[in-house]
Structure 1
Amino acid sequence: MMTKPVVGFIGVGLMGHGMAKNILAAGYPLVVMAHRNRGPVEDLVSLGATEAASVAELAGQCEVIHICVSGSPQVEAVIRSEGGIAAHATEGTIIVDCSTSNPVSTLQLAEELSARGITLVDAPLGRTPKEAEAGTLDAMVGADDETFAKVEPIISTWAGNILRLGPVGAGHKMKLVNNFVSLGYAALYSEALAIARKSGLSIEQFHSVIGTSRMANGFYDTFMKWSVDRDPDAHKFSITNAHKDMRYLSSLALDVGAANPVQATVRNAFATMEAAGEGERYLPMLADFIAAQNGLPEPEGSTLRANNETASAGMPLD
């Protein structure tokens, strides 16, 4: 009987807690560490995980390390810092970056780590914390054949749909393209709603047509729960994170020489809302911001605001 590798998990937040719990439930020895919120760590320790006091301590005892943090600056700090993974992990360690990261940074890190005998895999997430708890997330994976064979059994503990897209970097590229489509929907719905309201139509009338047509989809359903039902928790993904993802995609487009006029416009919608101090509101609330730019009043119930503590760092948009 083969011994299962020791798995480390950095970033046991809104998404990471459920993922880590499923790794542990599958019988993998799990090492975690706390950042700001001790609640998820204490829960995992109560279930059998071991807590490390630092990244260095975690890296020194784990064969596979998951990272699920806000974005590339945080990933780079966890890996490159003096007390980081690169300096303290043993040769042969595999890092699985589940964050929504900048592929340009991912490829640079992969090259640096390879020189130390450490392999980087990108496996950004699709779906929500509900699926993270259930172990049915989507995973968009970039890895070579040998490495993928090693990490697939672990990823399968928290993902129901594993899509291997190519070598390292491919997962983060696809994740940003995926988020461009969904964030593009958000910007389109918000502007369309504002035009409809400005012309005398109601939100309910808009929804009665679009919501029953071929243009309805799963993203539309959660996005519209704010405008129609004033449900602040229907789509927990902050404007700040949306803007971050679109900055990363702009960086990728620049790196590969792609023209991106529509994407630049979508990015600017989130840049404008964040610059106005509304970055911690959730994605569907873009509709209220665009409405206000058009001189329209906020619908009844709009005093509800996103909770800063639960705005997801890595939450996917599909």
Structure 2
Amino acid sequence: MTTTAASEKIGFIGLGLMGHGIAKNIVDKGYALTFLGRKNRAPAEDLLGRGAKEAATSRDVAVASDIVFICVTGSREVESIIRGPGGLKEGLKKGSVVVDCSTSDPTSTVALAAELKALGVDYVDAPLSRTPKEAWEGTLDAMVGASDAVFARLKPVLDTWAGRIVHIGDTGDGHRMKLLNNFISLGYAAIYSEALALAEKVGISPPRFDSVIRNGRMDCGFYQTFMRWTLEGDRDAHKFTIANAFKDLTYLESMAGSAGIANPLGNATKNAFAGAFVAGPDQYVPMLATHIGKVNGVDLTPTKDGKR
């Protein structure tokens, strides 16, 4: 870390499954960190123990920071944090940077960037890929939308929590690429789920199905993570909620509509998650297989010691 980089004061809002690990790595790597606390006190107490400071409002985070990271559910929450009473806009200084690590609607992202630009504040989208495990380890993927100069300023801070950083383009491109990334991954999830249901229906059990796919050409890291629920009952294998998946596919649908492109596979994937969302929004993505099985009269509940 250079002396210039070390002088940057960092703010953080959103100490959820991903945010806690990111914030932990920022403060552990030597940056002064001010965070917004939340009802779940465990992440806040952990960061306080590492030397970070707690703020009462988003405005207070802005006042104390040169660069503010936001890591929340989506655009609705981001807009409230920036524009709402006691929000970031009330405390941001000229020359500050706000970085949205959420998976947000690119239309909202571009609008917020223009709004903050008028105040002399840069707005960057840097959505994430991978899981809370990599967030804690500091090895997340990030796809960043920013100007070259702002990206160069942010890079040392991003390096504290990301193992792979791609400067994908200007502001808005990070969120556009993230929606495309999630379209592919969630499309895989829908295909795996339907394939597992059909396999069980025709007499091929999940372990037998897996014996062919695993280590073959159709295998990949996402497949292996996804299958840990059905094969092992590992609830925490991929802690990305069905609610967030459905939200991201809704954003994808909007982006495709704005671009004037037919997106039938995206809509089919969204519809698969829509039913699961109604049934259990707080479940995680690999549990889609159980839902798709149930809809089709197939029991894909994970087994334990040979029993469901």
Shorter-chain TM band: over 0.9
Residues 44-96 of structure 1, C-alpha deviation per residue, up to 9 Å, x if partnerless? Answer: 11111111111111111211000000111000100111211112211111001
Match for residue 58 of structure 2?
A: 55
Structure 2 unpaired stretches of 5+: none
Give the match for residue 251 of structure 1. Answer: 254
Q: Pairwise mapping of residues 126-275 of structure 1 onto structure 2 (< 5 A)?
A: 126-275=129-278
Cα separation, 2, equivalents of 1:103 and 1:152: 22
Aligned residues of 1:93 and 1:117 also touching (Cα < 8 A):
yes
Judge which range, 42-51 or 2-11, deviates more.
2-11
Q: CA deviation at 1:300?
A: 5.2
- Are the structure 2 counterparts of residues 44 and 103 from structure 1 closer, same or farther at C-alpha, using a change threshold of 3 Å? same
Equivalences, count: 301
What amino acid is aligned across from residue 258 of structure 1 in structure 2? I
Of 32-41 and 94-103, more deviation after overlay is shown by: 32-41
The partner residue of 2:25 within 6, 22, 26 is 22
Corresponding residue of 1:314? none
Native 8 Å contact 1:31 1:51 kept in 2: yes
Q: Does the residue aligned with 2:72 lie in a helix, a strand or coil?
A: coil
| Structure 1 position 299 matched with structure 2 position 301 | yes
Amino acid at match of 2:61: L
User: Is 1:210–1:216's contact at 8 Å kept on the other side of the alignment?
Assistant: yes
Q: Does structure 2 conserve the Cα–Cα contact (< 8 Å) formed by 1:64 and 1:94?
A: yes
Q: What CA distance in whole angstroms lies between the structure 2 residues aligned with 1:149 and 1:41?
A: 29
Question: Runs (4+) of structure 1 moved beyond 6 Å?
Answer: none
Deviation at 1:272, TM superposition (A): 1.4
Separation in 1 of the partners of 2:302 and 2:15?
36
1:280 corresponds to 2:285: no
Alpha-carbon separation, structure 1, partners of 2:234 and 2:294: 19
Q: Is the 8 A contact 1:100 1:175 kept in 2?
A: yes
Unmatched runs of 5 consecutive residues or more in structure 1? 303-318
- Superposition TM-score, scaled by structure 2 size: 0.95
Q: Supply the RMSD in Å over aligned alpha carbons.
A: 1.3
Give the aligned partner of residue 78 of structure 2.
Answer: 75
Task: Report the residue type matching 2:90 in the other structure.
Answer: A
> Using the alignment, how far apart are the partners of 1:36 and 1:103 within structure 2?
29
TM-score, normalized by length of structure 1?
0.92
Alpha-carbon spacing, 1:106–1:215, altered in 2? closer, same or farther (3 Å):
same
Partner of 1:309: none
Cα drift, residue 195 of structure 1: 1.0
Higher RCO, Cα 8 Å, sep 6+: 1
Q: 1:197 to 1:163 in 2, by over 3 A?
A: same
Distance 1:82 1:237 in 2: 30
* Aligned twin of 2:292: 290
